Chains A and B, each alone.
Chain A
Amino acid sequence: MKIYLKIIGYLTPIIALAISFFITGLILVAIDRNPIDTFALMIEYGTTPKSIISILNRSIPVYISAIAVAVGFKMGMFNIGVEGQYLFGTLIGAYVGSLLSVSRPLHILIIFISSFAVSSLWAGIAGYLKVKKGVHEVISTIMLNYIASGLVAYLLGSVFFERKDDGIIRVPQTNNLPETGQLPPLNNLLGLEDLPNLNGFLIGAVILGIVYYWLVWKSSLGFELRATGMNPTAAKFSGANPNKLIIVAMLISGAFAGFVGMSNLVGYFHKFTIDFPTGLGFAGITVALLGRNHPIGMALGAFLISFLERSAQILDLNDVPKEIERIMAGIVILVVVISYEVVRRYVLTQQVKLASKLVQNVE
């Protein structure tokens, strides 16, 4: 009896995806394009070796961002501030890294530490404000995003800028990381020749996924975190200190956020520039929802979003507006979130029925 409930759980995302493709197909028909051809085109282009590497590279920061958001979700908090946290942390990491001259693993490690320390503290402000002043974390993290982006722009333009042409021109970017601060791609390791670089921080993302899983599902702290998320009153009576947990959860969430920019920093750009990728913090919210805060679910969610982004690039060339990808991503999120909720309720009522049947039999 219980196995079929599990199977329903696993089938949900697949059915939800099929529904999303169907709805997108209707939209394509409405704008007079052939949906089958369009999807075939997307799949064909999206599964070339080049595309797969690009999808993996895109997935890394989105996945880590999703983890940062999920830490908050698990305890019933909404950290909207991953965006500001990672931008600020990455900038500081880039700056610190550009000053150092130490050997390789240590150099990269110091960059990581300075980035996540800053992100973590930045997120901690929201935790502190919630505990001490009762400011809702959604409000404070949104505000902190604005402050962070302003701060980053100011620091980049007026403090950490690079001097070129004997210092006459100030370029709003940090100095390049020395070679010891750069993370090599995985291509040599995996024998991927004649292909674009596969970002070395992919391994970091996998490690962070494992750390997240351990922290939330296996550690005692994670138990209290989840208990507080599901029933704050019962958690309080059990000895969990809600105020402490709020601050700790924000610090941890911010620490993960500190790694969002790392693949791009140490593995690709090697400096923080005005063009450094933004919006990853918000993408993380989407992916956390898609993956239901589960480490593997979020990885699949990150692949899916990255796949859609990448494969949409071919559409314009074939006279299909590439905006269809944004529409599709939106449909996917809505359908997936709704189907999760429907299935959750169904499984719950089935469990209740099962247990009450048993009680009747016993009595």
Chain B
Amino acid sequence: MKISIKNISKSFPGVLANKDVSIDVASASIHAIVGENGAGKSTLMKILYGMQKPDSGTLEFDEKLVKFNSPKDAIEEGIGMVHQHFMLADNLTVWENIVLGIDKPNFKPLKKKDYISEINELAEKYKLKVNPTKTIDELGVGSKQRVEILKVLYRGAKILILDEPTAVLVPQEVSELFENLRNLKSLGVTILFISHKLDEVIEIADNVSVMRGGMHVGTIETKNVSKSELAEMMIGKDLPLPPKRTSQISEKICLKVENLTAKTVEGKKAFENIDFEIKQGEIVGLAGVEGNGQKELSESILGLYEFESGKIHLHEDDISNFDTKSRRELGISYIAEDRQAQGLIIEANLIENVILGNQSTSKYSSKYKNVIYKNAVVNSQSVVNNFNVVTPGVNTLAIALSGGNQQKFVVGREIENMPKFLLASQPTRGVDVGAQDLIWNKLKDARDSGLGVLLISADLDELLGLSDRLIVIYEGQFVKELKPSEATPELLGSFMTGLNI
């Protein structure tokens, strides 16, 4: 079935998730949608699956206008979605999971034999190997995914949406999945494949649409595109560049990380032997495709992630064994990569939000451990003024602000705390050009006044424009260090994807 997404827009309080998105998907093809986190691909898929209603825009299947009020409507039109996190009942069998919710509840006995033979037929047709009588908790991840796919095919899906399907799979399972997908395609199923792993997209998809900042940047055939070109589209080139400014980098050390090694929760390597130092008055940019250890590394610096070995120094202090609060008190500031989840209490007003992260410092906590709201009122007002936060007042709840203004507030709060070291993670993600420009300038101002900054960003132009020095992380290791003057987005992209080691 052919899909036409026409001029879809959708916004949430504080976030513009989709802006005028139009994508055509050819029948019986594999169409990938790529973009960084927050680029709007999930929202688009939720609209396609009837979980969200668009503010404006339409959907057409085979030239026929469709409107969904719930996933049930979408399923009836032949759409099936395989979520990143499996929606299976672990203690039921495969066939029970597949037929779950098919019939209206009644008191008739289940036609177990009929169901099983139907499922076996379907599995044979699409070459999806499963054993219908096993329970889900006996299955491996790859098999669970096949059950999910069968589940939607059993409901008559002609269009399959796969949300980050390879995120949970090991390489061998990935190639198995890809074989299955090619098979499905040859049998006429249209597949939408959401991912941010560019290798896989190029391998499996016929066409790829790139999303950035809620907008559709373009759609191209994968045979005509290279990984670095795709990366460039994803990260953006036509954006304004941060202002180049020279700076005085001091000789004094701001943050020093020695031989840091950590494992992921699953016991795999998160990062290994990370060794670097940031001087006062220096911005060090950390480039890397998401999921290469940046998250674990930044949480280790914040004291939220337990590393196995190594040391972290802030100025002269060894902070390796300090908890987050002591690190905050010593002067580590953090611009959260996800402002709404990590950086703000969106149901609280700006006065309370300005305290967050400094609630135990003498600025906001009196001798008798009372919150000093007086200072919070003054400081929140000062952040609002200095960082052009558009808000009716500091009494307004954070959720009422637009995304760009929320981000300006978070950045302002962290910079005005006068930290010794700033960890800036995706400081301009999902904000408009004006807010981006202001944030860039403020970061440079802070750098010029002697602040050391570790900048983690998916935006290569931001990295190149702001950093005094660039480090590339790939699979948990620092693979390259270079000066921004000798780097281009293409070159960075090749290091980031491990092509050029």
Contacts and interface: CB of A to CB of B under 8 A. Distances in A.
Given A219-B369, A220-B371, A234 B343 contact: yes
Given A218-B370, A224-B359, 6 more contacts: A222-B371, A227-B356, A231-B347, A236-B324, A237-B324, A237-B343
A241 B324 contact: yes
B135 interface: no
Contacts, number: 106
Contact of A239 (B344, B360, B370): B360
A34 interface: no
Sort chain B's interface into a size bin. 35 or more
B397 interface: yes
A231 B341 CA distance: 7
Most B CB within 10 A of own CB, among A219, A236, A348, A352: A352
Contacts of B344: 231, 234
Interface string A219-235: 11111101100110111
B348 A230 contact: yes
Contact of B325 (A231, A240, A348): A240
Interface string B336-376: 10000111111110001001111110001100011100000
B402 A359 contact: yes
A354 interface: yes
B442 to A, nearest CB: 19
B369 A220 contact: yes
A358 interface: yes
A223 B352 CA distance: 8
Interface in A323-356: 348, 351-352, 354-356
A358 B390 contact: yes
A219 B400 contact: no
Contacts of A219: 369-371
Contacts of A227: 345, 348, 352, 356, 359
Interface string A282-320: 000000000000000000000000000000000000000
B207 to A, nearest CB: 35
A351 B345 contact: no
B227 interface: no
Interface of A: 2, 214, 218-224, 226-227, 230-231, 233-241, 348, 351-352, 354-356, 358-359, 362
A162 B352 CA distance: 54
A230 to B, nearest CB: 5
A1 to B, nearest CB: 8
A236 B336 CA distance: 12
A354 B371 contact: no
Contacts of B13: 352
Contacts of A352: 13, 399-400
B390 A238 contact: no
Given A220-B365, A351-B396, A237 B302 contact: yes
List of 7 A-B pairs having minimum Cβ-Cβ separation, nearest first? A239-B325, A355-B400, A238-B357, A239-B328, A220-B365, A351-B400, A239-B324
A219 B399 CA distance: 24
A223 B402 contact: no
A45 to B, nearest CB: 42
B324 to A, nearest CB: 4
What is the predominant secondary structure among interface residues of chain A facing chain B?
helix
Contact of A237 (B342, B365, B369, B391): B342
Contact of B347 (A230, A239, A354, A362): A230
Nearest to A349: B13
A196 to B, nearest CB: 40
A240 B302 CA distance: 12
A217 to B, nearest CB: 8
Contact of A358 (B302, B392, B397): B392
15 contacts: A218-B370, A218-B371, A220-B370, A223-B352, A231-B341, A231-B344, A234-B336, A234-B341, A237-B357, A239-B324, A239-B328, A348-B400, A354-B400, A355-B392, A362-B390
A359 B402 CA distance: 8
Contacts of B370: 214, 218-220
Given A227-B345, A356-B402, A359-B402, A241 B334 contact: no
A238 B356 CA distance: 6
A358 B401 CA distance: 10
A274 to B, nearest CB: 42
Contacts of B121: none
A360 B130 CA distance: 55
Contacts of B402: 355-356, 359
B405 interface: yes
Given A220-B360, A241-B323, A355-B396, A236 B346 contact: no
B397 A351 contact: yes
Contacts of B325: 239-241
B378 interface: no
Interface string B389-416: 0111001110111100100000000000
A17 B134 CA distance: 55
A231 B360 contact: no
Contacts of A235: 345, 356
B463 to A, nearest CB: 23
Contacts of A221: 369
**Looking at B328, B345, B355, B405, which has the most chain A CB atoms within 10 Å of its CB?**
B345
Contacts of B346: 231
Given A355-B402, A362-B390, A238 B341 contact: no
Contacts of A359: 390, 402, 405
A293 to B, nearest CB: 14
B139 to A, nearest CB: 25
B399 to A, nearest CB: 7
A88 B391 CA distance: 51
A234 B342 contact: yes
A220 B359 contact: yes
A96 to B, nearest CB: 30
Interface string B161-204: 00000000000000000000000000000000000000000000
A218 B401 CA distance: 26
A223 B345 contact: no
Given A234-B344, A352-B13, A239 B357 contact: yes
B355 A223 contact: yes
B306 to A, nearest CB: 13
Contacts of A234: 336, 341-345, 356
A225 to B, nearest CB: 11
B304 interface: yes
